[in-house]
Structure 1
Amino acid sequence: MTTSHPPVPEYDLEHFIATGQSLAIGAQGAPALATPLQRTLMYDTGIRALGKQPQALVDAFEAEVETCLSGFAHWLGRLRPVSRPAHRTIVSAVGVGGEEIANLQRDTPPYRDIVEQVRWARAEAQRRGLTYRVSALALMQGEADALLGTGLVGYRAQVALLQRTLEADLQAVTGVTRPIPMFLYQTASHGRYAGTALHPSVEIPLAHWQEARDNPNLHLVAPMYPFPYADGLHLTNHGYRWYGHYLAKSIAHWLTTGEKWRPLEPTRARQRDSVRVGVDFHVPVPPLRFDTSLVRQLDDGMNGFELYDQTGRVPISHTRIVDGTQVELVAARALSGAVTVGYGLTPVNQMNCDDTGRFLAWNAGPASGVRGTLCDSDRSASDLSDMHGNRYALANYCVIFRLPCD
């Protein structure tokens, strides 16, 4: 679903808030990087704001760990020039490690922190004679629900509820009634968790994609498999800063055009004959390409694609890009009954599951986790560099998906 609004007008103070689990607060992202920031503020208690009461707004900087918000603010400043002399970006992160989404909803401590801190920020803006609004929310959550076996439908409802209630409560506090969209990442760590027999862990990344696809107030920024991980579950400091650039790209698109951000995602799958299936894609920057320079090819050589028919998983003999916006899959045998295409669904080399439902030896990431090599042709790159001195590349990688064929 695509919904357009007029471009968002500038305010003197524009607030961007991250919430969710440990990735929302940069867990394992040490040491903090010296990310250059201009015209960016934080509470005097720091970017990580859970359980804190601000007393002032100060120039933003990271302490101890790198969150995604510095990379976000840095890149947003380059993608979205502003004309108001007083304009500043405010960033804050309110996340709780290991928390399921039901415990982030209205009347929970993290939710109350967000609302009360925004109430304080609005009062501070009024004291200074400045305009203020919350421009967007970022949700970095899902791992706890993958472990618990939260179902796809129920998780989608919880994400939509969190956006809807936060929007209503923050609009009431600020007096600004423009939409406050929520920008999601798509977890790629479901291989770490078993989930349940009824609701396997893969339902969470599928829920991220499906709810963002169908809900005009939710935007899916990117899948997480291309980013470097510190421990197979949390990102490195560079991983957080890199993801912040993608968050900035999607939010800047919304702010400057009023249009919903759409990642590289499938739009339709069709069975063409007894062995061939074609998948059409929304491609942010055509043409499609397979690229193994960042994401390692999988052992089967099929770029992350999977095929299923009424008998189960079907081996694929060939994948190829057609006309820049389609991928053709050729099955190694004749397909039977209803056919489904998957991408990035099945973890390999999980080893043993412990008694808590975790595969502790399994690691997410571009070389070992669930992943795929399909991306678009966005050749833009950051002015900042990773730990190897390479500029962060900003191609859009395909979402994890499961899609039935027509």
Structure 2
Amino acid sequence: MATGVRLTDKESSATVESLVGLRTNPVTKVTPIAVDDLAEQLLGGEIGDAIAGAAAGLKSAKTWAELSAVVGTAELQKGEVTDDAGTHTDPVTGLTVPNMGTYSWSASPAGWTRTGDYADPATAVEAKAAADVAATTAVGASVVAGEAGIWQLSGNNLGVTFAISADDGKMPWGVLPDGSYYAGALLTEINYAGNNLGLVDGLVGAGGRLLWGVDRWGGEWIGGQYSEPLGSNNLGLIWGIVGDDGKVPLGVRSDGSLIGALALQDVGAVVWEAGGNLYGLLGTQEVQLTSTGKYDLPRVVGEHVHFRSTRRRDVSMTYRVAYNNPGKLEVFYASRKANEASFTIGQSLAEGGDVAITTTPPFPSNALKFANGPVGKQSEVLTGPLVPLAEAVNETISTGMARNILADELDRTLVMAGQAWGGKTYAELKKGAADGVYEKVIAQAVYLAGLPGGAHCRAVNVIHGEADGLISNVNYDADLREWLDDLNEDIRGALDQSDRIVMLTCQTSSAAGYRSIGVRDTFTTPFLQLKASEENDDIFLVGPKYHLTYLDHSHIDAASTRLWGEYYGKVYRRVVIEGEDWRPLSPATITVDGSDVVIDCHVPVAPIVIDTTAVTDPGNLGFNLLDAGGATITGVSVTGPAQITVALSAPPQTGWRLSYAFHNGAASAGSNSGPTTGCRGCIRDSDPTLSAYTVAPLRNWLVAFQHIF
């Protein structure tokens, strides 16, 4: 069979456009094309620029300052800024544009010009899939609506036996008897015999030039280049393209690295899954990036790997991990502003119940507050400007919390704020209440939104519950849910952020200071605080407070307040920054084995420890058996790294109650709470995290709870 294209009697088009595909518009049917100058058409003008830009590779930077310092190597080279909330003047258009986004290099005027918004690849997959489905549907519709005729042909000058004809009489597609077919002006030959290249298949242009071909050894001709699988060679290649001059413009070694003028100088990062974890390759260095086995849709973004995970209470979020810091995961939030606000709300413990002791700013540039902050008291209105964070009149949790969050690295600017009013119930602090405490928090958010670079909020800190315990509020868990929902709506609205806010709260440990044992059950909030954290995926209980030092029946001293702030900071880092789940030392399951009650626990850091030094024993290490008809507790022991066994004098019966850190301590209202006189227990974990102020470990103590058999 003769070689070449046989459409010599057909009209030719002067552009590559008609090679794209069939068009449904009757006026613009596909026409054959002369491709003698196909290379020039493909490599000239914008197409050539786009190819050169793609070959130059993507320049990924975290900030605009980093990207702007890089000089592009080709017109239209792509760039991106992945994490920068600021703005700048575009060097090409002269417009003020956001720093975070996608970019293209311009040679004249020289600089990176912004082309669009940056989208995290891990979160864009669902949108891309939807777009693919829509595009496929559209293509299907266009084929159905097409008006081209399909014909079986007899004798004709092209030797075609089957064809699609256009309304203008031209043939955009046809099949020859040997299986070769025309696609527009191109002829694909199934048996491309009789040629000096030894090809068995080929694609030939109208000028008789070879565009693509395959020889019997599996080598390929693409344009003027020949690629082939390689055996032994001095370059160690397993695949390569050889030019007419015998040089290799592109080759692949067995380790995956590239060589040649067409190879990217920096291959960049690669990520893969093995054994349920993510691994990365940067250059020739292999690193294990994750160790939990919970990930999906991994994508390389600059120096990070982004992926989706449900590691925090089965809520799907985007995470990232850096190649140069494997194992250190962090949540990659959609809203990333210049300032990170944290609002503390509640009653007197949120205000601060003792004179301030932390009056020196720990991080003057990275931890800030309102001028008369950090937490507004009662009807006080916090005002700007922002100043370095330190405690003023009363010691709040703010400085201790910020110190813990920023201890490892100064990677964010925290603004500690909030509003509190001692002795107020939830009904008096909620949205729309007469005293306006809630509305003052929202006003603070509005102010922060107007700062250069704006602000976002990841969590609100609630220290509250005594007043509702006093009124025996049996719906306090639902109140916490409503409180968080309202704060989510109004703070996010003020800050213009999409990411939801979580609540960090703590357990009230002063029941003994308010209620004698005979009426202790009417103090409802401690168990409902635990219940709210167990039933909601965005409410996290930091822990109980019975191990802290109290001034009276309910207020902790300044040193304990600062220490408690460090506890809040510890949980904030785990939940908000690292995106891990947090449950305090608390029961996971409770089972009965004869007369033994076996309590398997959530343990932040095993093993469980009995500690009667930090907290004195109120009897049975804090456990009490109630409504048991004379039966007693005969022993309490740690029976595993995460297990406690309470031995009873008889098998428990329906209606018996076993409680911890609640039905003990001071027998009358008004007595001091705390580690020697309040309702308490002696069970803790082995968390080695140290206080930045006292260097004492921040142990996690078993929460107060009650189990009814």
Q: Normalising by structure 2, what TM-score? A: 0.51
Give the aligned CA root-mean-square deviation in angstroms.
Answer: 2.2
CA contact (8 A) 1:242 1:392 kept: no
Residue 469 (structure 2) aligns with: 146
Instruction: Kindly indicate whether residue 610 of structure 2 is the aligned counterpart of residue 290 of structure 1.
Output: yes
Residue 387 (structure 2) aligns with: 58
> How many Å apart are 1:179 and its aligned residue?
1.2
Q: What letter is aligned with 2:614?
A: L
Q: What's the secondary structure of 2:506's corresponding residue?
A: strand
What do residues 85-133 of structure 1 show as CA deviations (whole Å, max 9, x unaligned)?
xx3100013110100011111123100000011101111x2xx2x1411
Q: What's the secondary structure of 2:340's corresponding residue?
A: strand
Instruction: Kindly indicate whether residue 448 of structure 2 is the aligned counterpart of residue 121 of structure 1.
Output: yes
Q: What's the secondary structure of 2:533's corresponding residue?
A: helix
Q: What's the secondary structure of 2:647's corresponding residue?
A: strand
Q: Structure 1 pair 347/323, CA: closer, same or farther in 2 (3 Å)?
A: closer
CA contact (8 A) 1:190 1:201 kept: no
Match of 2:634 among 298, 304, 317: 317
What do residues 358-405 of structure 1 show as CA deviations (whole Å, max 9, x unaligned)?
x12x211011101111111112211312xxxxx332011011011235
Residue 392 (structure 1) aligns with: 696
Q: What letter is aligned with 2:462?
A: L
Give the distance between the partners of 1:36 and 1:134, measured in 2 at CA: 22
Q: Structure 1 pair 291/8, CA: closer, same or farther in 2 (3 Å)?
A: farther
Q: What letter is aligned with 2:611?
A: D
Q: Structure 1 pair 397/48, CA: closer, same or farther in 2 (3 Å)?
A: same
What do residues 178-208 of structure 1 show as CA deviations (whole Å, max 9, x unaligned)?
0111111100011222499999344210000
CA contact (8 A) 1:149 1:196 kept: no
Instruction: Kindly indicate whether residue 349 of structure 2 is the aligned counterpart of residue 32 of structure 1.
Output: no
CA contact (8 A) 1:36 1:74 kept: no
How many residues matched? 377
Q: Which has more radius of gyration?
A: 2
Residue 354 (structure 1) aligns with: none
What do residues 302-360 of structure 1 show as CA deviations (whole Å, max 9, x unaligned)?
11112345537x42111111121111111134533344431112133323xxxxxxx12
Residue 565 (structure 2) aligns with: 244
Q: What letter is aligned with 1:106?
A: K
Match of 1:89 among 403, 414, 419: 414
Q: What's the secondary structure of 2:658's corresponding residue?
A: strand
Q: What letter is aligned with 1:2?
A: R
CA contact (8 A) 1:149 1:195 kept: no
Instruction: Kindly indicate whether residue 659 of structure 2 is the aligned counterpart of residue 342 of structure 1.
Output: yes
Give the distance between the partners of 1:93 and 1:237, measured in 2 at CA: 18
Give the distance between the partners of 1:287 and 1:61, measured in 2 at CA: 36
Identity over aligned pairs, percent: 25
Moved more, 192-201 or 208-217: 192-201
What do residues 18-38 of structure 1 show as CA deviations (whole Å, max 9, x unaligned)?
0000100102x1142345521
Residue 213 (structure 1) aligns with: 534
CA contact (8 A) 1:226 1:295 kept: yes
Instruction: Kindly indicate whether residue 553 of structure 2 is the aligned counterpart of residue 232 of structure 1.
Output: yes
Q: What's the secondary structure of 1:248's corresponding residue?
A: helix
What do residues 158-190 of structure 1 show as CA deviations (whole Å, max 9, x unaligned)?
111001101111111111010111111100011
> How many Å apart are 1:82 and its aligned residue?
4.8
CA contact (8 A) 2:514 2:553 kept: no
> How many Å apart are 1:262 and its aligned residue?
0.9
Where does structure 1 lack aligned partners over 5 or more consecutive residues?
352-358, 386-390
Give the distance between the partners of 1:191 and 1:3, measured in 2 at CA: 37
Instruction: Kindly indicate whether residue 621 of structure 2 is the aligned counterpart of residue 303 of structure 1.
Output: yes
Residue 13 (structure 1) aligns with: 339
> How many Å apart are 1:265 and its aligned residue?
0.6
CA contact (8 A) 1:72 1:248 kept: yes
CA contact (8 A) 2:512 2:520 kept: no
Residue 369 (structure 2) aligns with: 42
Query: Could you say which structure has the higher helix fraction?
Result: 1
Q: What letter is aligned with 1:345?
A: F
> How many Å apart are 1:157 and its aligned residue?
1.0
Give the distance between the partners of 1:189 and 1:8, measured in 2 at CA: 38
Where does structure 2 lack aligned partners over 5 or more consecutive residues?
1-311, 319-330
Q: Structure 1 pair 8/294, CA: closer, same or farther in 2 (3 Å)?
A: farther
> How many Å apart are 1:8 and its aligned residue?
4.6
Residue 371 (structure 1) aligns with: 680
Higher relative contact order (CA 8 A, sep 6+): 1
CA contact (8 A) 2:517 2:667 kept: no
